[in-house]
Structure 1
Amino acid sequence: MSSGRSSTSTRTSSVTRPMPSVHNTPNVTTLGRAIQAGSMNIGPTNTTVRSRPISGIRQASVDRSHISTRNIPTTTLSSSQRRISNDSTRSRLSNQNQFAAATDQRSTISDYSERRTSNASNSSTLASNSNDDASSSNAKVSSIDRQNSHSPSPIDSKLKSGGLTGLQNLGNTCFMNSVLQCLSNTKPLLLFCLQENLADCLNTSSTSVMRGILMREYANLIRKMWTSSENHSVASPSAFKNTVGRFAPRFLGYAQQDSQEFLRYLLQGLNEDVSRVQRKPSPMKIDEKAEERMKEKDRAKFSWERCLLFDNSRIVDIFAGQLKSTLECSHCQYQSITFDMFWDLSIPLPRSKSSSSVQECIQLFMSKEELDGDEKPMCAKCKQKRRCTKKFSIQKCPQILVLHLKRFSQARGRTKLNTYVDFPVNNLKLNDLMDVMSESYEGPAPTYNLFGISNHSGTAYSGHYIAQCKHPFTNQWHEFNDSSVHSLNEKQQIISSNAYVLFYERNN
């Protein structure tokens, strides 16, 4: 049993690291043998871990009550810093394309040899032509996929029967188990953990608290969950939990915890462990006036490049989006616009209604909020505190959209809202919502399909977590209640007032 706890988002400065590219293509044959044999553990490391308390977490969930209202100044990057950012972007695109070609296997065993030869050729071409655009690389990958899509592979067959592994409750660890099951069914993260050369992606520099050990232990657990030869087997997350506790000491014991808070810490730790940034960039020169003269879409891109100098990893590729914050002075109408990277959104529930929809909650999060009284921010133009309005909109959509329903409140004592929130299982459309997408957002707004839910039942002081997840290879829904796993067949079994954290995957 584990109760929910109110979440507080803390934003601190980032530790930075350089961004080496990862060019190794997974050895498909060896990967297939390893999956079939169930021997997928990543070897141990001799690296010493620095264990320290975590006072805050960078790029955590975005809660509108904790977004900075100050006018963030412009950063002018040096040419060398821009090269670091651009090289990292090309490296990330190259790595993603090579990995997709190797892991999205639909060919027979005899085709694997041909495919590996083709991949090696493509990898060499990409290395010698690092300035080729991403569309050309994607076209090569798509061509390979079309050529080899005529029959399923042994790896596909193994994965279709995998992932239905329960997790032991070690004592109030249902909060952790529910998050692990949702992440286990997050397809891009799963495939990243299953690639053979994952060890080459680990950040063992001093800029990672765990020096790659947290990702190593997480991947070992995920591989056990997906390579078990027994149907509905049970795995122990004990070793993983101990490792998480070394990164975030609050999870060392067996106290009741909040699943969304655990998710934030885990993603931060995994992000550090596979970060492409391994040393601090040079000091930045701030030029606020120059940034104000830039077009909004250019400011957004510039801000994103700035973020990648500090946080750049496969975890960022999968979970990170960008939020636009507009602060308008009610006295002089001056607008201060800033951009923030986010990994999940904490969206409020209507307080006076017994039922709502996730679209209404998103709309409420994005709506204008008046800042007055003690909340008055400093107007950059008036040079004094003024009554202002604050509004959010989405500038960049993530591949995986995580929505945290704010059911727990500290107001008038710790309480839980049992509001029934309806949410679409398929085709969550953000562009159907008014003023949710930024005016400078480029391209069609994506739609999202639900694939995971962390549910909380009970009160704010005592409760229990379970997960409901859609299998990434069979599309069958299952419920994971610690060590128990069973199928779900009805939509009514998925949508309930217990939904707490929703996981959506972008489908376009």
Structure 2
Amino acid sequence: MGAAGSKLERAFGDQFPEGERYFGLENFGNTAYCNCVLQALYFCVPFREQLLEYYANNKNIGDAEENLLTCLADLFTQISSQKKKTGVIAPKRFVQRLKKQNEVFRSYMAQDAHEFLNFLLNELVDILEKDSQAAKSDPEASSPSDKAANGPKNVQANGPQKDPLVTWMHKIFQGILTNETRCLRCETVTARDETFFDLSLDIEQNSSITSCLKNFSSTETLNAEDKFFCDKFFCDKCCSLQEAQKRMKIKKPPHILVIHLKRYEYIEQLGRYKKLSYRVVFPLELKLSNTMEDADSEYSLFAVVVHIGSGSNHGHYVCLVKSRNHWLFFDDENVEMIDESVVQTFFGSSHEYSSNTDLAYILFYESLGNDNKN
């Protein structure tokens, strides 16, 4: 470990980023799905900064109940405060809490990194919302990290509007989608907003993230042709079922855009999921112009979670991270510097049958604009 650490430091030479720490995470038996997501989140700078602030504001609470937020804040503080620049840390407390919290992650079977990420983000939001509610009930118990502002979370098309809490998790990861349905008889447009923390995209062979996003926002016609009558849309203005067009678009882009590539397809004849090795090109700089009508949002790639293996219930996960203009490769305890060109090797294969199973699975982009920053 010491030799590996010194090797990484030698690779940086005199250009080792000031104040940065590059630590591998110990694997406790099929916990690579967890380690790779934690590395991606650690190098999500706004998220890391908020977690470190949360820890600093709450470390003297004493008998405060342990949860995933406190365990993660403790882990990130451990990493960032290390005297050494490189090494290995065991995220034991966090993994123990994760298993205690959710029985899905208790077994030694391989787990899905996207399911873990989804669970973790929602759990952290729930904890922060409860903290904020408790702080409102007892103002003396509040801390700077507990403060929240009012704003939209799940915005409904009709009816009374609620003003739920918006925590720093919402400000970093939450975006808003608009589901628009246009009646083809009266041209009335009905819009329903919903929030998201990540976008799950269907993929096709020899495609790109840009084309996947375009398909995500493409227009679909609802009609009864060769289908059941209920596939039509009930128009409130016409007071009847009508043919309609619907589309999904991004109304408010998040500061951190998380994209999940749907690389598993259920094959009925096989009775199981098959991994799609499709080549899907993802750019280092991404524009959302195809999914938004009002503005172009630009993003920069800073982390890629890669799945290695042929199936959904087995395999391994690694993570690529961009930190201070350097790309690094995290494989549990091992960390090494890589060239930017290596990122392209995880696009996938242009051939239907390929031995290459090292494929990008989750992409993390940070907004280059100032609109969504805290």
TM over 0.5: yes
How much does 1:274 deviate? 2.2
Cα distance in structure 1, aligned partners of 2:327 and 2:345 = 12
Summarize the Cα distance change of 1:200–1:222 in structure 2 as closer, same or farther, 3 Å threshold.
Answer: closer
Cα distance in structure 2, aligned partners of 1:194 and 1:335 = 45
2:166 aligned counterpart, secondary structure: coil
2:236: which partner in 1?
380
> Does the alignment pair 1:239 with 2:75?
no
Summarize the Cα distance change of 1:379–1:256 in structure 2 as closer, same or farther, 3 Å threshold.
Answer: farther
1:503: which partner in 2?
364
Summarize the Cα distance change of 1:307–1:220 in structure 2 as closer, same or farther, 3 Å threshold.
Answer: farther
For the 8 Å contact 2:306–2:361, the answer to whether it is kept is yes
1:98-113 matches, within 5 Å, as: none
> Does the alignment pair 1:344 with 2:198?
yes
Cα distance in structure 2, aligned partners of 1:387 and 1:411 = 32
Cα distance in structure 1, aligned partners of 2:161 and 2:195 = 7
For the 8 Å contact 1:422–1:495, the answer to whether it is kept is no
1:57-456 matches, within 5 Å, as: 159-160=19-20, 162=21, 164-195=22-53, 198-200=56-58, 213-275=67-129, 277-278=132-133, 303=155, 309-350=163-204, 353=205, 355-372=206-223, 373=228, 375-412=231-268, 413-426=272-285, 428-431=286-289, 433=290, 436-438=291-293, 441=294, 444-456=295-307
Root-mean-square deviation (CA, aligned residues, Å) is 3.1
1:414 aligned counterpart, secondary structure: strand
1:424 aligned counterpart, secondary structure: coil
Summarize the Cα distance change of 1:302–1:464 in structure 2 as closer, same or farther, 3 Å threshold.
Answer: closer
Summarize the Cα distance change of 1:198–1:224 in structure 2 as closer, same or farther, 3 Å threshold.
Answer: closer
Cα distance in structure 2, aligned partners of 1:301 and 1:455 = 31
Write the deviation string for residues 262-318 of structure 1: whole angstroms up to 9, x where unpaired.
111101111122236417x9xxxxxxxxxxxxxxxxxx89939x9983342111110
Higher helix share: 1
For the 8 Å contact 1:425–1:450, the answer to whether it is kept is yes
How much does 1:369 deviate? 2.3
Letter aligned with residue 464 of structure 1:
H
For the 8 Å contact 1:465–1:481, the answer to whether it is kept is yes
Cα distance in structure 2, aligned partners of 1:459 and 1:466 = 15
Letter aligned with residue 308 of structure 2:
S
2:178 aligned counterpart, secondary structure: strand
1:278 aligned counterpart, secondary structure: helix
Higher strand share: 2
Corresponding residue pairs, total? 314
Q: Which runs of 5+ in 2 are unaligned?
A: 1-15, 137-151, 349-358, 370-374
How much does 1:202 deviate? 12
Letter aligned with residue 199 of structure 2:
L
Cα distance in structure 1, aligned partners of 2:367 and 2:28 = 34
How much does 1:325 deviate? 0.8
1:47-66 matches, within 5 Å, as: none
Normalized against structure 2, the TM-score is what?
A: 0.75
For the 8 Å contact 2:55–2:73, the answer to whether it is kept is no
2:236 aligned counterpart, secondary structure: coil
How much does 1:417 deviate? 1.1
How much does 1:448 deviate? 0.5
For the 8 Å contact 2:222–2:246, the answer to whether it is kept is yes
Letter aligned with residue 95 of structure 2:
K
Summarize the Cα distance change of 1:376–1:262 in structure 2 as closer, same or farther, 3 Å threshold.
Answer: farther
For the 8 Å contact 2:154–2:194, the answer to whether it is kept is no
For the 8 Å contact 2:34–2:113, the answer to whether it is kept is yes
1:4-15 matches, within 5 Å, as: none
Summarize the Cα distance change of 1:369–1:459 in structure 2 as closer, same or farther, 3 Å threshold.
Answer: farther
Cα distance in structure 2, aligned partners of 1:277 and 1:423 = 38
1:26-37 matches, within 5 Å, as: none
Summarize the Cα distance change of 1:379–1:202 in structure 2 as closer, same or farther, 3 Å threshold.
Answer: farther
Normalized against structure 1, the TM-score is what?
A: 0.56
Of all paired residues, the percent bearing the same amino acid is 30
How much does 1:407 deviate? 0.8
How much does 1:378 deviate? 3.5
> Does the alignment pair 1:462 with 2:314?
yes
Letter aligned with residue 402 of structure 1:
V
